[in-house]
Structure 1
Amino acid sequence: MRDVIYVGGAWADSSAPATIDVINPANEQVIDRIPAGTAADVDRAVAQARRALPAWEATAPEERAAHLEAILTGITARQDELARIIAADLGAPYALAQKVHVGTPIAVLTGILDVLRAYDFAGERCGDSLIVREPVGVVGAITPWNYPLHQVVAKVAPALAAGCTVVLKPSEIAPLAAYALADIIDEAGLPPGVFNLVSGTGPVVGEAIAAHEDVDMVSFTGSTRAGRRVAELAAASVKRVALELGGKSPNVILPDADLALAVKVGVAKAFVNSGQTCNALTRMLVPLALYDEAVALAAKAAERYTLGDPLAEGTRLGPLASRVQFDRVRDHIERGVEEGARLVTGGTETSLAPGYYVPPTVFADVTPSMTIAREEIFGPVLSILAYDSEDDAVRIANDTPYGLAAAVWSADPDRALAVARRIKAGQVEINGGRFNPLAPFGGYKQSGLGRELGRHGLEEFLEVKSLQF
């Protein structure tokens, strides 16, 4: 049992008398327990991070790169173990856990190393000034359960590369990959206090980190509601805040697109990780003349997503991560039916039990005002909406409080690019453009503040200083 926290370069007992059960969502069995950490645990971790900061921020970039390289080597050597951990506490199919949940952090960390080795910390001249960048300080990283290794690496790696020290609170729902990463960091020989981990709930440990006066920056990924709370607490000490929040991303299929390909890829991007992805393409926008054909193609594609045990061969969708998420997704499906959307395939019923399983679900006849078209569901639920002109498609795409991601499909790349430029989102895939771990990731509007990944992700953890001559 991982009933400890990682503070000051060593595993230590928490001051918390209580523990939190880690549940395997495929069978609803307790597979581990972690401490329900306290504000006192956060104080200990922050004190260690503050103590370690002067020496760490003074290290040469080459030395920090060597430490990160050792961490990358450790992750790479333990890929299979990490994938099995994520399959167990998140419920991700094993193949997905290997390729995405572990493969993506490896790509991200490799990218951060490339950025760090090329970054000019000496600064740039601007008239009679030298503009330099320095570490922001102690970083509180609060990460979600849906990508429990990737989201940690996407914050911890650039923070360490920048010369910051870190206090991490992983999600209590799927915390075991973060614990395994802490083991890897410990084995890599990172100086004591540079990285710390405190487990627990958001209202206790997360809020203690966000409000702590000795934390210089908080980087949070999660719901928009929780992000508002983090920003509110951080405002008291005017600390820097980076927020990667929710999304309701549109997939705009223009009339001249390859409809079969656009629908097939769109369904895949809606259902990946059982739909538990902030940038999932959950709204498919289709020209009215092609609507019935698109609905039929989407239904056929959805029915190929085999629902089952994460470790069973052929499983493409695993369970949802928790009972809370299971109930939330089922409620949204029922709301969709109540509001008049047409359930094409899927729904709330499945023969799989126990486990938090929801079938891949497609709704047609969805209007922009429906709840399932407006709220982030975070499950395998796709809404298909019709539009009657390109301007109408852009209007519907932007008719959301979110702005994290989008996609555009057209046989004419220039046309697709022009439409993509009109969509208010932080990243837009054009004709199935692939994820780039060096490109900035983040959102407009209520999808957050700041950017992760690549050079932009590194610079989130750096302060800008002007030296005048």
Structure 2
Amino acid sequence: MTDFSKLRTDKLYINGQWQDSHGGDRHAVICPASEEKICEVIQGTTEDVDLAVRAARRAFQSWRRTSAAERAAFLNAIADGMQARREELIEAISVALGCPAHITGWLHVDGPIYATRFYAERAYLMEETEKAAHSLIMRDPVGVCGFITPWNYPLHQFVGKVAPAIAAGCTMIAKPSEMTPLQDYVMAEIIDGVGLPAGVFNLVPGAGPIVGAALSSHPGIDMVSFTGSTRAGVEVARAAAPTVKRVCQELGGKSPFILTADADFEAAVRWGCEDVFINTGQTCTALTRMLVPAERYEEAVEIAKRVAEGVRIGKGEDAFMGPLSSARQRDIVRGYIEKGISEGARLVAGGAEAPAGLEKGFYVKPTVFADVTNDMTIAREEIFGPVICLISYQDIDEAIAIANDSEYGLSSGVWAKDAESALPLVRRLEAGLCFVNGGEFNYDAPFGGYKRSGNGREFGRAGLDEFVELKSVQMPA
């Protein structure tokens, strides 16, 4: 195992230097598989945020004038560093989050490396000038950015914010989750090693109500990008409002997955279950409401039961599902399972008790509920655990109505006879993302939600656009 004490987790990274915190509080990082302490990470203060913002503001004046070629070179160098330290990034995420290491590589690390190179190529878009009749349209970077990233896909969301910000010519302060901060320290070392100018990137870990609140409200920050719960997202927006800064939010989800009567049920149900069970259900886009035609409902229930009971749990090379991220998250998920039973849903597989032989560690069983109605708590609220709700429908109109009957609109899925016949249903779904017949996540395409799932987009060209101010230049006709 990597000795994470060699990472400078006792320091903040501000203005190109490893610095002490104005506080001194530390937060223990716990391995959810063993319940043992991995290390302690220093916690920043509001004073530290202010220092980082001042460094980022100074750096912005020159950084914004760098060429696209310079910024692209830095991003490619960062991607090279990530590739060189890939195994360390894998272990940093796996040990703190609990995702099995053999899955962490392709699920948590390889995509972010690709996305970093993607934005190296897109940096050149900042130098393009468009014509609109007698006007020119130019692009400027939005300015100093504050990034608040989550614990469930920590490197994915780090890169989804930091890479396009660098490409656009912005400067930034990043705050990782207290639960999974280790990969941010690896990234800070990589960024420092490639020689990114002092103040462009700053790392200030700490508690959300302290560091997160300071980033959201600071008058020296022009944009805050937050990924996390809808409840916390509301607080971020409220804190940001008085300074009229740009706010980009990727929040919660309770996503539907519609199976049509002519779908390949064996493939569709298996894929839908694995979509929820991967990362132990701690995925904001997880398709946790499986909508099934009544005439084939019990067939789907039996397949889901078989898939759930076949999932290997643990941390070895044969494990598909690891523990939940914390004791608190385990207790929340168990509470929802108990709530589903009390509300009358039929427990098909799993349950609230610990898996056999895994009493130590924050493990839960992959759980399947049948006979769920869309007014039940387990169908309305984001559980953030490996829990699937099977809901029956009579016709496609009812399926669409159930799918859209949610305060969320982040993700969705359709599995039909073929992809072409799924598209008319996709157009009727109120969600920013839709997976058709098992289609994979694509870093070239925009990611974000409707309704209370947030605003703004990450990844793809749209992810760069979030960091851009448009300048309209009126030329003589």
Question: Which TM bucket (shorter chain)?
Answer: over 0.9
In structure 1, the residue matched to 2:285 is 279
In structure 2, the residue matched to 1:213 is 219
Shift of 1:120: 5.3
Establish whether residue 7 from structure 1 lines up as the match of residue 14 from structure 2.
Answer: yes
Correspondent of 1:79 among 86, 95, 113: 86
1:60-81 CA distances to partner (integer Å, 9 max, x unpaired)? 0000000001100000111111
**Structure 2: 5+ residue stretches without partners:** none
Shift of 1:3: 1.2
Q: Tell me, in whole angstroms, the C-alpha distance in 1 between the residues paired with 2:447 and 2:167.
A: 18
* Contact 2:46–2:210 (CA under 8 A) maintained in structure 1: yes
Shift of 1:133: 1.2
Establish whether residue 402 from structure 1 lines up as the match of residue 398 from structure 2.
Answer: no
Shift of 1:412: 4.0
Establish whether residue 301 from structure 1 lines up as the match of residue 312 from structure 2.
Answer: no
Q: Tell me, in whole angstroms, the C-alpha distance in 1 between the residues paired with 2:99 and 2:256.
A: 24
- 3-state DSSP of counterpart to 2:389: strand
Q: Tell me, in whole angstroms, the C-alpha distance in 1 between the residues paired with 2:198 and 2:126.
A: 27
TM-score, normalisation: structure 1: 0.98
* 1:60-459 alignment, distance < 5 Å: 60-117=67-124, 119=125, 121-308=127-314, 310=315, 312-349=316-353, 350-351=355-356, 352-459=358-465
Establish whether residue 45 from structure 1 lines up as the match of residue 26 from structure 2.
Answer: no
1:159-178 CA distances to partner (integer Å, 9 max, x unpaired)? 11000001000000111011
TM-score, normalisation: structure 2: 0.96
1:294-333 CA distances to partner (integer Å, 9 max, x unpaired)? 000011111221111x2x2211111111111111111100
Shift of 1:341: 0.5
CA RMSD of aligned residues (A): 0.9
**Structure 1: 5+ residue stretches without partners:** none
Correspondent of 2:63 among 32, 56, 60: 56
CA spacing shift, 1:149–1:468, aligned 2, 3 Å = same
1:326-361 CA distances to partner (integer Å, 9 max, x unpaired)? 111111001000000011111111231221001111
1:231-267 CA distances to partner (integer Å, 9 max, x unpaired)? 0011010000000000011110001111111001101
* Contact 1:251–1:408 (CA under 8 A) maintained in structure 2: yes
* Contact 2:418–2:437 (CA under 8 A) maintained in structure 1: no
In structure 1, the residue matched to 2:466 is 460
- 3-state DSSP of counterpart to 1:427: coil
Whichever residue aligns with residue 20 of structure 2, its letter is D
Q: Tell me, in whole angstroms, the C-alpha distance in 2 between the residues paired with 1:412 and 1:262.
A: 11
Most deviating of 80-89 and 232-241? 80-89
Shift of 1:112: 1.6
Whichever residue aligns with residue 197 of structure 1, its letter is L
Identity %: 53
Q: Tell me, in whole angstroms, the C-alpha distance in 1 between the residues paired with 2:111 and 2:281.
A: 17
Shift of 1:15: 0.9
Q: Tell me, in whole angstroms, the C-alpha distance in 2 between the residues paired with 1:175 and 1:414.
A: 42
